[in-house]
Amino acid sequence: MSSDSLQAGNDLSQKHWAIIGGGMLGLTLAHNLAKAGQQVTLYEAASEIGGLAGSWHVGEIQWDKHYHVTLLSDLRNRALLTELGLEKDMRWVETKTGFFTEGKLYSMSSTPEFLRFPPLRMIDKIRLGGTIFMASKRRDWQALERIPVADWLSKWSGRRTFEKIWLPLLKAKLGDTYKRCSATFIWATIARMYKARQSGLKKEMFGYVPGGYAKILEHFAASLATRGVEICTGEPIKQIVSDQEGLVSVQTDQGAQHFDRVVMTTPSSLLTNFCPQLSDHQRQQHEQVEYLGILCASVVLKKPLANYYVTNITDSGVPFTAVIEMTTLVDPKELGGNTLVYLPRYAAHDDKAWEWSDAQIEELFIGALVDMYPDFSRDDVLAFKVSRARHVMALPTLEYSTKLPPMETNIPNVFAVNSAHIVKGTLNVNEVVELAETALSETLLPSLQNAYQSSSALPELPTTDSLLEPTTQPVSA
């Protein structure tokens, strides 16, 4: 039985769901629940949907607030874009990767360039290549959760390679928290990028939708409206409580509304603030999830910096994690002929960078670009704007998956599904879409099935296969 054939005529076959959070996770959950014949209301505290995938204006241009890219191997995300009528419009571009190390910029986009990479000896390169290849083939990620990432990389790549390459990259991404993180972090990162190269072309083919996520979100909102989903923006949640009849009250400044089911997609460290009925044990589970945040500068320039989509940085003292030159991927015509660069800095909750003003960040970041690129001048800057998000990525600490709170909370008919439940991947839109589908098939729809078991006259729920069939098939480029 297909998901669209589930009718609302039977009172028990359709429930009214509230989705808390209008990022890509909440939107995808709402989309799939509506496909399954459910009534859905989505709450978003901000004035617009999108969350970390939202767009904004920087100077004279509008583009994504944070950098996003689609890989050929991102089949879940591409299937969703197909449903929204956008995958056919995607543009695919071969990109290059740079490395800034020992004060110089190197290209690392091919095997010959890797073999010529001066900072490493040939034996170091062999061990580094072997580490990457071995990680790409490994499947038992659970065992890696018990091994500190520094120990694992030192063992397989060697101490010299670890000190010159891996350690600076770990510190740039994780800060000192890398000491508490497991090897699954680097395994998941390698696996995704290696899988992209295994997609058939052996090249770094990245894709984007013309118009960016502003266009994707516009189509998403229209699709949800067609399916009857109500979107309530500008409504932060004050409290979520369940009554003795199993109905769940969602309270905002606009009043309270009752639902049959509620799914919270907000970060674990925040959702405890409005769920007074959480047990002490589950509250502790959510509060112990540690998040990295990001300060991300969008910089509009008169001319390009280099020809690399991403430039990894191993030199200490550079105040950002990497240089993402978006217009090596996106046609500059979409950005008024200008160059768009992202300068991200991942930061733990106690990072001093949270105290920096926008002016301080601009001075530090632009100064670092001047040092990195001899042909760059401060006069090349047309616009500079900073985004701050404190709860972005849950840290994959040792034995992380064994400590996660369950998706089904102790509060009747209340669920918590957020990016912290990504246990064997990196945070990206494809993983978020897959998480939504997994939560739907393994937790949310089974909760309805259990409720229906007391009635023999109820319609059969759609199977997992029928719901997920569109997103498990390869999509041509």
Which structural domains are found in the chain, ordered by start?
3-51+214-287+405-471 (3.50.50.60), 110-197 (no CATH)
Task: Report whether pLDDT(475) > 90.
Answer: no
Contacts of 214 (CB under 8 A, 6+ apart): 55, 62, 63, 64
What does the pLDDT look like over 50-79, one tens digit per residue?
999 999 999 999 999 999 999 988 999 999
| pTM of the complete model beyond 0.85 | yes
Q: Shortest CA distance to 67 belongs to which of 268, 345, 301, 375?
A: 345
| φ, ψ at 203 (rounded to 5°) | -130, 165
Strand partners, 182: 148
What does the pLDDT look like over 215-255, one tens digit per residue?
999 999 999 999 999 999 999 999 999 998 889 999 999 99
pLDDT (0 to 100) of residue 320: 95
In contact, 275 and 411? CB cutoff 8 Å = yes
pLDDT (0 to 100) of residue 341: 98
Task: Report whether pLDDT(463) > 70.
Answer: no
What does the pLDDT look like over 244-289, one tens digit per residue?
888 999 999 999 999 999 999 999 989 999 999 999 999 999 999 9
Confidence of residue 118 (pLDDT cuts 50, 70, 90): confident
**Neighbour order of strands in the sheet with 381-394:** 104-107, 97-101, 310-313, 322-325, 339-347, 291-301, 381-394
pLDDT (0 to 100) of residue 424: 85
